Structure 1
Amino acid sequence: MDISGKRAVVTGAAVGTGRAIATRLAAEGAEVALVDIDDDAGRQAAGALTRARYEHVDLLDDHALARLLDEARPDILVNNAGGGAVLRPCFPDADAARWSASLDLNLRAPMLATQLVLDHMRQADGGAVVNVGSTAGRGLGPHASPEYSASKAGLIRFTATLAPLRETHRVRVNCVVPDWVATERGIAEREALPLEDRGPEQIPLRTLTDAVVRLIEDDSLAGRVILLERERPPELLDL
């Protein structure tokens, strides 16, 4: 897919990884809708780009999400919004409403958004969806936030199951799975740690946006995952 001239929606795009992805897609020539609930940061991010606009949408509001996608009719959807890995308390100490909200934001919302764009993308003769996962969703070890890691594991598996959509809908759904990314907040959090606890350097934002662009542009990729681990080159996983 040629990104130039396409319509893109990026969720969680006011700051951090979402803003970096939106900025990169705009630089590649896409018309980008930056979706978030942080109005000040969202408007500032969109205002710094050409052919971009900010949309206030709470992804836990099904009707608002459906209205957005029906109006935007994107050729490219990046399900980046998420979070909660550092919020405490977590399961089992958190109440059901709190850990359910994490599942809804990190898994249900991207599932619904993907479902909502399928018909339009099929009518438009194709589209690309990129889900932003996390290495918290890989492996079998413990994690401080079980609900977050479970939702990201589900997002990875969800992506892999949708490979057939390339044939049935001409829609390719893929996932980028980064380790700790060097956003402004990520850098500050790492620098606040003792030196012995910081670990390897974080994933550069450019490495993340390169992976997203690859998953959009490469028409041979469907239901695939690009793993971004610290101190290792990007890896296209065989699922």
Structure 2
Amino acid sequence: MDINGKRAVVTGAAVGIGRAIAQRLAAEGAAEVVVADIDEYGGRRTCDLIGQQARFVRIDMTDDDAVTDLMACQPQILVNNAGGGPDLKPCFPEAPKTRWSASLDLNLRAPMLTTQLALEPMHKLGGGAIVNVGSTGGLGLGPHSSPEYAAAKAGLIKFTATLASLKDSHSVRVNCVAPDWVATERGRQEREALPEDERGPEQVSLETLTDTVVRLVEDETLAGRVILLGRAEAPYFLN
């Protein structure tokens, strides 16, 4: 899909990864980039950095009615980036049900709902591309400091992989990028807080991540694919 002239929605675009993706889609010629985030200051700052192509929507992605209103703009490109919460303490099983349930809602249920709402409008417009932003925290069988976050990201990865058939039925391609730690300000702070012998290789650059998102949007052969961005390796597909 050619990004030029298309409308895009990027959730969680007030800072960091989401902001970089929104800026990149605008640079690639998107006619409109809808910056969706609960952080109004950061979201409007993202719009200022992009310019006239950008429009801010303040939204709680766990509010179904608000998500329905957001998706009424009928984007041809959707990036489900909103998420987070692995650093919130306490985590499961000490966390109250409301907290771990909210993490599942934000990291898994919200992108499932936006995807569902996007399908028919995208189909009517001739097709679309959806990119889910997962995490290496959702891969493998090892422990994770936030079980609810890891479970949600694992679910998002599997959810993506099951939707390959939408390419034929709706002309909509759903893919996922699963990065390790990304070189955002927050990511750098978290890495620097670790003992030096636990920091591992350098973080994934924002350029590498946004290059991958653009590839997943543009490459018409890719559907239901999950691409891993590790810190020490080149991007590679997991399926």
Q: TM-score, normalised by structure 2?
A: 0.98
Aligned to 2:12: 12
Aligned to 1:98: 99
Specify the SS of the correspondent of 1:48: helix
Aligned to 2:41: 40
Please give the alpha-carbon distance, in whole angstroms, between the structure 2 residues aligned to 1:146 and 1:35: 26
Q: What amino acid sits opposite 1:187 in the alignment? A: R
Tell me by how many angstroms 1:21 deviates.
0.4
Please give the alpha-carbon distance, in whole angstroms, between the structure 2 residues aligned to 1:21 and 1:190: 22
Q: What amino acid sits opposite 1:16 in the alignment? A: G
Please give the alpha-carbon distance, in whole angstroms, between the structure 2 residues aligned to 1:193 and 1:237: 28
Q: 1:47, 1:53 within 8 Å by CA — same for their partners in 2?
A: no
Specify the SS of the correspondent of 1:143: coil
Tell me by how many angstroms 1:62 deviates.
0.5
Tell me by how many angstroms 1:237 deviates.
2.2
Aligned to 1:28: 28
Q: What amino acid sits opposite 1:34 in the alignment? A: V
Please give the alpha-carbon distance, in whole angstroms, between the structure 2 residues aligned to 1:152 and 1:4: 30
Alignment of 1:76-115 (within 5 A): 76-115=77-116
Please give the alpha-carbon distance, in whole angstroms, between the structure 1 residues aligned to 2:116 and 2:163: 11
Alignment of 1:194-213 (within 5 A): 194-213=195-214
RMSD: 0.7
Please give the alpha-carbon distance, in whole angstroms, between the structure 1 residues aligned to 2:44 and 2:173: 30
Q: What amino acid sits opposite 1:65 in the alignment? A: V
Tell me by how many angstroms 1:197 deviates.
2.1
The count of aligned residue pairs is 237
Specify the SS of the correspondent of 1:116: helix
**Percentage of matched positions with identical amino acids:** 67
Tell me by how many angstroms 1:198 deviates.
1.4
Q: 1:174, 1:225 within 8 Å by CA — same for their partners in 2?
A: yes
Structure 1 segments unaligned to the other structure (5+ residues): none
Please give the alpha-carbon distance, in whole angstroms, between the structure 2 residues aligned to 1:237 and 1:198: 24
Q: 1:73, 1:117 within 8 Å by CA — same for their partners in 2?
A: yes
Structure 2 segments unaligned to the other structure (5+ residues): none
